[in-house]
Structure 1
Amino acid sequence: MDKIYEGGCRCGAVRYKVEGAPQIVGLCHCAECRKETGSAFLHYADWPMDRFSVEGRYETYDGRSFCPRCGGTLFHLSEEESRAEIAIASLDAAPSAFTPHREGWIKRRESWLTACPEAEQFKEDPV
């Protein structure tokens, strides 16, 4: 049986589940992800849509979904609706099992951050 990971927003109004191992785990240093997270990068993981479920009302701006009550960053559902990109920090459990294997927009990575040793590096968006 596949492991189920649960997460949600800060206030608990939106809850989601993803099942099994993610297809992709990465870090993104682009300006949009920085603004979305209020941090130097976004740690994310992608699951197929058929392994993702959500309960509660969420809002979406420019493809990025969040809780309208507390503003918590949650996920990005792909335009073709084939994958759910989860903001790993929104998982209930610490994301230590999700080591990034790719790192995008490294040309914007802060000089005080080092590259993830096991991650493939991309100057901009991963191909």
Structure 2
Amino acid sequence: MINRLGSCRCGQVKYEVRGPPLRVGICHCKDCRQESGSAFTFFGVWPQSVFDAAGDTVLYEGRRFCPRCGSRMFSCEGNEVEIKLGTLADAPTSHLPTYELWVKRREPWLLPIDGAEQHWENRRPPSVD
């Protein structure tokens, strides 16, 4: 099983995640743009049961930050954890986005990722027939 390590910029918050992500995405929404200071965010989602973190974090609207350096780290919702993949120690990662969210806000000079699902706004869970 692959273990991945990550941390904030100053190293006060550290985490480990085990195994492959459930999904990997890119988001172009206003919140993600503002929080990253960039055109999008790149994230992976894992089961919370394979995630461990150490160090003090601050919570703002469900998102955890390092209070010392301000790095956006992760958020936990239900039994999943969403990790900002830029905080992984190994870069570049082998994770390829399988979907993009809020493509209506994507910069016109950014091309869609080949093979990735394109969602006008939020990702919709598959319907159960």
Q: Pick the TM interval, shorter chain.
A: over 0.9
User: Which structure 2 residue ranges, 5 or more long, are not aligned?
Assistant: 125-129
Identity across aligned pairs (percent)?
44
Look up the match of 1:91.
88
Instruction: Please report the TM-score for the alignment, with normalisation by the length of structure 2.
Output: 0.94
* Contact map agreement 1:58 1:66 (CA 8 A) in 2: yes
Deviation digits for residues 46-74 of structure 1 (CA, Å, limit 9, x no counterpart): 00000000000001100011100000110
Quick one: distance in 1 between partners of 2:21 and 2:33? 22
Quick one: distance in 2 between partners of 1:101 and 1:123? 15
**SS of match in other structure, 1:33:** helix
Look up the match of 2:127.
none
* Contact map agreement 1:58 1:68 (CA 8 A) in 2: yes
Quick one: distance in 1 between partners of 2:11 and 2:115? 34
* Contact map agreement 1:88 1:95 (CA 8 A) in 2: no
5 Å-filtered alignment, 1:106-121, equals: 106-121=103-118
Count, aligned residues: 124
Q: What displacement does 1:96 show?
A: 3.0
**SS of match in other structure, 2:10:** coil
Quick one: distance in 2 between partners of 1:95 and 1:87? 13
Quick one: distance in 1 between partners of 2:91 and 2:97? 14
AA partner of residue 43 (structure 2):
Y
**SS of match in other structure, 2:49:** helix
AA partner of residue 98 (structure 2):
H
Quick one: distance in 2 between partners of 1:64 and 1:18? 17
Look up the match of 1:44.
43
Q: What displacement does 1:118 show?
A: 1.7
User: Which structure 1 residue ranges, 5 or more long, are not aligned?
Assistant: none
Deviation digits for residues 66-92 of structure 1 (CA, Å, limit 9, x no counterpart): 1000001101111x2x00100000101
**SS of match in other structure, 1:74:** strand
**SS of match in other structure, 1:69:** coil
Root-mean-square deviation (Å): 0.7
Look up the match of 1:11.
10
The runs of 4+ residues in structure 1 deviating greater than 2 Å are none
